[in-house]
Amino acid sequence: MAAALSVRRVESKADFWAFLTFPWIVYRGDPYWVPPLLSMQRHRLDKTRGAAWEYMEGDYFVAWRDGQPVGTIAAFINHRHNEYWNERIGFFGMFEFLDDAEAVRALLETAADYVAAKGATALRGPASFSTNAECGVLIEGFDDPPVLMYPYNPPYYQRLIEATPGFAKVMDLLAYHITFEAASQSPKLEKLFRITAQNNARRGITVRPVDRTRLAEEFVLLKDIYNRAWSRNWGFVPFSERELDEMVHDIGQFFDPRMGFFAEVDGRPVAFLLALPDMNQALHRAYPRPGKPEFLTLLQLLWHWKIRSKITRVRIMLMGVEEGYRGIGVEAAMFMSAYQRGAELGIHDADGGWVLETNTPMSRLVESMNGRAYKRWRWYERALIPATEGETQA
């Protein structure tokens, strides 16, 4: 008979350490998991330092069985999301668990109770902590390590979440894989280059790389275009100033300006594409873990990144085209520039994501370059009766 299960809020330093390090228990022996740097994970979870916490409120919880952690979850209200979409949604994230159906149900019930008590009409997730960061449950594409800033989980996550009463799919996210060899062999590629060049001249479309001498200003421009371009996308939450500063700090350490592009129409910046080297390829080899000095991990990371580089792919992490300029060839112009630059830099593969499953035009563009959808993540949602309308949940 299994030992009794309990779910407790994280309150002590010992609780927080259990929450922070629990993934190393879940993924012990998994050849594909890429562990995060403990310092970065600690910063993200710190409510006084993490940028997302300036507009969120929430708590962390750990499920315990026989004195050992068997699952973790964050339950929170994202006020910025709710104000933007005029909703009352509660969220869950940092959701990790062993193959334990009772623990999964108890953690999700705890999160539902928490957000319902704050007036939420639904519980949605997983998100850690928004669509600007890691989100979704991986349900397809378990046969290789995730690229930079993609979540990864065992296949049983989908089974146990979908077996929990009330939870149903609300949206799928896709990632596309493009090999430069496959793209170069596409019968459509030469034609696409020719048509793109002609269209650029006819419509006044120009593509320029990010100016490395003005990075701070360029990232502000990127944020402004991103917030306008994505304003109507499902789940979108505008970048805050602190989030932009945090992003510049985090990715600026390894961002290659040669793989960032702005598109202009008649001299007006209207779109951007930002590709990042897949640092997970180096991080997977450095393998940070509790008890290992982080300076040693960083030295190994530097070795596998700069000295004996293992990085052969990029993630097209952010892309946006302002409304009014879509469908006129701006997207293709940026993709062609990124393809040419990647080939010059010796990049073998590119990953494009997230892409909403409903974004048919983007899917067609990637498929024209012999790209294929190779990973899929799922968002779930459960309807709730908020505490202000009743004492029990649906």
Q: How far apart are CA 208 and CA 119, in angstroms?
A: 47
Same topology between domain 7-171+379-383 and domain 177-378: yes
pLDDT on residue 382:
98
CB neighbours of residue 333 within 10 Å: 24
Could you report the per-residue pLDDT of 14-68, keeping only the tens digit for each? 999 999 999 999 999 999 999 999 999 999 999 998 888 999 999 999 999 999 9
Alpha helix locations (H) across 288-329?
294-302
Strand partners, 379: 171
CB 124 within 8 A of CB 393: no
pLDDT tens-digit map of 99-146? 999 999 999 999 999 999 999 999 999 999 888 789 999 999 999 999
Q: How far apart are the first and last CA of the chain?
A: 30
| CA distances for 80 relative to 89, 101, 166, 335, angstroms | 11, 32, 25, 32
How do the domains of the chain map onto residue ranges? Answer: 7-171+379-383, 177-378
125's CB contacts (< 8 A; 6+ apart) are: 91, 92, 93, 95, 111, 135, 379, 380
pTM here is 0.90
Q: What is the mean pLDDT of the chain?
A: 91
pLDDT at 251: 74
Residue type for 296, please?
L
pLDDT band at residue 340 under the 50/70/90 scheme = confident
The CATH class that applies to domain 177-378 reads: alpha beta
DSSP secondary-structure letter at 329?
A: T
Q: Are 178 and 370 in contact (CB under 8 A)?
A: yes
CA distance readout (Å), 82 to 74, 124, 240, 372 = 18, 12, 15, 34
- For domain 7-171+379-383, the CATH architecture is 3-Layer(aba) Sandwich (3.40)
Looking at the DSSP bridge assignments, the partners of residue 207 are: 263
